[in-house]
A = this chain, B = another copy of it.
């Protein structure tokens, strides 16, 4: 299908971000409050235009840094600083998804360890970490029973897709470690799985599984008691990215 460069339908291209973290035993997403119409005052996912000289991944990384200060892990770098995992999620281009014009949004998924506090271009009151069930508002009410306005645009769909991607991807990859600080214990990693999947896991079987998977975890030698109880060994993420056999998400 040849085409004429001077004659194409005009589109705007944006990146939207699903930034997930685990706080207080629940899976949370970054949300920003819209300051303008449409959907003024409603919560939305962070995002913005792709610049003319910019790759899609670069645009997503730039937006992520602007909103959270996080830099993106270089997959080549073995030891991790305070970086986040970033990957393309999906692209949303319904003709009516933005009432003003035709906007195609390339959504990205970012996974980050628990962060001090969000900043939305310096304005913290317009950004927050919210539990995903609250943002998705299955029943239309938040955790305290207050009514919750749905996310702007089609962002509820995007968030749901991002959460589903994260839930399935930690099954067969070592990505759950992206939710953890550079050094973490087996119990902390287990609480990540429990929060993301919303289930309880047997600590003994989980310990056997993760410590028995080659390349998943490497002991640092240190221990910590920051979770209380008996001191636990500290680990770093190993080089393995694919878990074979995978972690099994309990039925129902």
21 contacts between A and B (CB under 8 A): A1-B48, A1-B49, A1-B121, A3-B48, A3-B49, A5-B101, A8-B12, A9-B13, A9-B51, A10-B10, A11-B50, A13-B93, A53-B95, A55-B94, A56-B93, A88-B90, A88-B91, A91-B91, A93-B106, A104-B104, A104-B106
* Complex contact A95–B54 (CB within 8 A): yes
The proximity string for A residues 5-33 relative to B, scoring 1 for CB distances below 8 Å and 0 otherwise, is: 10011111100000000000000000000
Leading 7 A-B pairs by shortest Cβ distance: A1-B48, A2-B36, A56-B93, A8-B12, A11-B13, A91-B91, A5-B100
Q: Which B residues are CB-close (under 8 A) to A90?
A: 88
Is A47 close to B, CB under 8 A? yes
Q: Which of B1, B2, B35, B63 contacts A46 (CB 8 A)?
A: B1
Copy number of this protein in the oligomer? Answer: 2
Taking CB atoms and an 8 Å cut-off, the chain A residues in 197-246 that contact chain B are none
A147 to chain B, nearest CB (A): 25
Is A52 close to B, CB under 8 A? yes
A57 to chain B, nearest CB (A): 9
Is A102 close to B, CB under 8 A? yes
CA distance A63 to B3 in the complex (A): 14
CA distance A13 to B92 in the complex (A): 12
Q: Which of B10, B50, B100 contacts A93 (CB 8 A)?
A: B50
Interface residues of A (CB under 8 A from B): 1-3, 5, 8-13, 34-36, 46-56, 63, 88, 90-95, 100-102, 104, 106, 121
A19 to chain B, nearest CB (A): 14
| A8 and B49 contact, Cβ closer than 8 Å, known pairs A13-B93, A36-B2, A106-B104 | yes
A126 to chain B, nearest CB (A): 11
- For A90, the closest partner residue in chain B by CB is B88
CA distance A32 to B75 in the complex (A): 35
* Complex contact B52–A95 (CB within 8 A): yes
CA distance A192 to B152 in the complex (A): 43
A176 to chain B, nearest CB (A): 18
A152 to chain B, nearest CB (A): 12
- For A53, the closest partner residue in chain B by CB is B95
Q: Which B residues are CB-close (under 8 A) to A56?
A: 91-94, 104
Q: Which B residues are CB-close (under 8 A) to A55?
A: 93-95
Q: Which B residues are CB-close (under 8 A) to A51?
A: 9
